[in-house]
Amino acid sequence: MDSVDLEVLRHAIAWKAAGHAVTLATIVKTWGSAPRPVGALLVIRDDGLVSGSVSGGCVEDDLIAQVKAGKIAAQAPQILTYGITNEEASRWGLPCGGTLQLILEPVNEKSRLQELLDAVSQQQLVSRQLTIASGEVRLSAARWTDGLTFDDLTLTTVHGPRWRLVLIGAGQLTTYLAEMAKMLDYQVIVVDPREEYADGWSVEGIRVDRGMPDDVIQSLGMDGHTAVVALTHDPKLDDLALMEALNSSAFYVGAIGSKKNNDARRLRLREFDLSEEQIARLHGPVGLFLGSKTPPEIALAILAEMTAIRHGVASVDWAAKTQPRYAASACEVSAVATER
């Protein structure tokens, strides 16, 4: 769950506490092109105020009108589908015949949103199961491999950090990288056995593991949802951690330093019997080339490269786009609703 979704939950809780009727919308299925992914959240207050999004705007306009009129999900969850045909999709402003299916639910004591937010704030990964017929919600621990599922009876959503970022070193750059990564759906783990750095760490919600980096990497069990970035400039700490990370299924492994330093690092890694293919996975110098100079800019470059790799982008296309990705259209709309 990224920072946008957390903000949606916070607004839902605050608006309900202030005495408003509140409706929570979740995208559960998409067909064709869709501007927002499955799992995206929108919360609508009874006076039309919204937080989050599920489309480019036209769907939100219709949902606001229906919520204000008390026509949808006033008492129980409801399934709503937009853009059944290409013509309707065009009217909705959905791209290329796209279709959205949403679950609308009234926010009440059954919703357990405050419990959910409290758990997520503690970096826990939580599964929320909503029974459509009754509106009852159950919360349980989730696994990294879990995702949204919907079988017409129960909606299961997963909330909390879906990706892990292990940072070796607790210096100034790590502070910026950790703060930014939290906004991008990462559980951040900082590792630094050096007292002079670990004692000065002060990022809220992220503790420093003082173990040796290679031991910590081994204990965490690197998987395809994990990234590792070495930031100490100390080969005694960085190299062993990188060796373990490159020998794992971590989707991204990077190291700070110049090209010359990273070339030397690759020579050292060959002494650990890593294959050429494994060593080639190392991103060093780390991050996209943005002309970065300051720690915040370098952190941005690192996260930009990680984001591209997460989304399967092999190389960055800097060319300006001459055509908009989604065509604008009128907001004359109609929808198909199914009550449960």
What pLDDT was estimated at residue 323?
44
Whole-number percent of the chain with pLDDT over 90: 63
Confidence class of residue 44 from pLDDT cuts 50, 70 and 90?
very high
Question: Which tops the pLDDT comparison, 183 or 317?
Answer: 183
pTM for the structure as a whole: 0.65
Instruction: Examine the pLDDT at 35 and tell me if it is beyond 90.
Output: no
Instruction: Examine the pLDDT at 149 and tell me if it is beyond 70.
Output: yes
Whole-number percent of the chain with pLDDT over 70: 85
Closest Cα partner for 62 from 76, 83, 77, 41? 83
What pLDDT was estimated at residue 312?
85
Domains of the chain, start order: 3-160 (no CATH), 163-310 (3.40.50.720)
Rounded Cα–Cα distance for residues 41 and 128 (Å): 14
What pLDDT was estimated at residue 340?
44
Sequence-distant (6+) residues with CB within 8 A of 56 are: 35, 93, 94, 326
Residues forming beta bridges with residue 335, ordered by sequence position: 82
Specify whether the CB–CB gap between 316 and 290 falls below 8 A. no
Confidence class of residue 134 from pLDDT cuts 50, 70 and 90?
very high
pLDDT digits (tens, 9 = 90+) for 72-92: 988 999 999 987 555 655 565
Rounded Cα–Cα distance for residues 108 and 122 (Å): 23
Average pLDDT over residues 304-320: 75
Residue 262 to residues 67, 191, 244, 291: CA-CA distances in angstroms?
57, 21, 17, 18
What pLDDT was estimated at residue 63?
93
Question: Which tops the pLDDT comparison, 304 or 123?
Answer: 304
Write down the mean pLDDT value for the chain.
86
Residue 249 CA, distance from chain mean position: 20
Q: Which region among 120-124, 228-232, 235-239 has the lowest average model confidence (pLDDT)? A: 120-124
Closest Cα partner for 126 from 134, 118, 116? 116
pLDDT digits (tens, 9 = 90+) for 159-205: 887 789 999 999 999 999 999 998 888 889 999 999 999 999 988 88
What pLDDT was estimated at residue 59?
86
What pLDDT was estimated at residue 204?
85
pLDDT digits (tens, 9 = 90+) for 252-310: 999 999 999 999 999 999 998 899 999 999 999 999 999 999 999 999 999 999 999 98
Instruction: Examine the pLDDT at 321 and tell me if it is beyond 60.
Output: no
Q: Which region among 99-103, 170-174, 275-279, 330-334 has the lowest average model confidence (pLDDT)? A: 330-334
Closest Cα partner for 284 from 296, 272, 267? 267
How far is the first Cα of the chain from the last one, in angstroms, to the nearest whole number? 27
Confidence class of residue 334 from pLDDT cuts 50, 70 and 90?
very low
What pLDDT was estimated at residue 270?
92
Specify whether the CB–CB gap between 148 and 157 falls below 8 A. yes
